[in-house]
Amino acid sequence: MTQELTPGAPTLEQVAAAAGVSRSTVSRVVNNSPHVTDEAMTAVLDAIERLGYVPNRAARSLASRKTQVIALVVPETTAKVFADPFFASVVQGVALHLSDTEYTLNMVIASETNPQKTRRYLLGGNVDGALVVSHHSGDHSYARLSHALPTVFGGRPMSPDEQDSYYVDSDNVAGAEAATRHLLDIGCRSLATIAGPQDMPPGFDRLVGWRSVVRSAGLDDGLVELGDFTPRAGAEAARRLLDRGVPFDGLFVANDQMAVGALSVLREQGLSVPHDVSIVGFDGDSFSETSNPPLTSIAQQATELGATMARVLVDLLQGRPADRVTIMPTRLIVRGSTREPQGTETAAD
């Protein structure tokens, strides 16, 4: 049975009818009560998003110029967040931009909590908007979130429910293409890659870029292993590549942390970098600068990415025009892990 809405803002009763639950159940959900079944909670949150319902306490905040709080949501583990320079740079960019506004930043490391609890928090009138970084396509906690709350994603959304969302991303495809062309330009003819998770935009897009150049060169594109962007995953993926018994002289790795892990395994197996295998990473962060040899890498502007996300969200909150999609350029930084003179920088677009 279809719920017909009366003109004006949707009410608690209309949400209850749309969700097929009682008014008191809706009230418990919006007030973060733990005494609600997962099935009922999902139905209520879906109805809230679908109808654009604003809980009463959020309405009271709106009357007093809203909460002036923005949430930065990272659906990763605490260990991964604090070990990755990318996240630190994004947070720095967000914080620097918001420091010149009246907004306060709250950081939510969502994988450490119940995803439904995070959604209740975001939709319960506690924040004016959300920035979501490092989301996975299989995580539906943020699907349609932007329909009910101003939201900007860090990275191209992959879910069909998020295709009309606002987002800021690095040009991952072009960066991977530049990395792969560099390996070809220095004479590599058997190329392998360690790609990131395929349910995340950077992992997926960087593999697309690598494959595009390899196929255009008429080379085999089958030497692919996947990792989760950690050094350990890079090491394990490098071992799997070597265990195939197919020699390769060029390796593109989807981030610098995995590249460092791969480099250590190549060295253990008696392979010299860059003389036997040239390696290009992605990020251009401290991992690439301090490895031995220093990594040739595709540098992305993580701090600027965070600042741009914050700027777009603030523009949305204040009713100013905002670009729905912002793609930031990357650049190739040549260091000692490839057979090129160190210190060269070229645009990767």
Residue 35 pLDDT greater than 90, yes or no: no
What pLDDT was estimated at residue 7? 46
CA distance 321 to 324: 9
User: Nearest-CA neighbor of 158 among 209, 118, 116, 198?
Assistant: 198
* Residue 320 CB contacts under 8 Å (≥ 6 apart), including other chains: none
Q: How far is CA 244 from the centre of its chain?
A: 31
pLDDT bucket at 47, cuts 50 / 70 / 90:
confident
What pLDDT was estimated at residue 342? 40
Q: What domains, with CATH codes, occur in the chain? A: 1-51 (1.10.260.40), 172-300+330-347 (3.40.50.2300)
Q: pLDDT higher for 343 or 192?
A: 192
CA distance 192 to 220: 9
- 305, 93 contact by CB (below 8 A): yes
Q: pLDDT higher for 281 or 52?
A: 281
What pLDDT was estimated at residue 344? 47
For 78-98, b/e burial (b = at least 16 CB within 10 A) is eebbeebbbbbbbbebbbebb
For 209-267, write each residue's pLDDT tens digit: 999 999 999 999 999 999 999 999 999 999 999 999 999 999 999 999 999 999 999 99
CA distance 131 to 149: 10
What pLDDT was estimated at residue 176? 98
Q: How many CB atoms lie within 10 A of CB 113?
A: 11
Q: How many CB atoms lie within 10 A of CB 9?
A: 12
Tokens 């709250």 belong to residue: 106
For 78-112, write each residue's pLDDT tens digit: 777 778 888 889 999 999 999 999 999 998 887 65
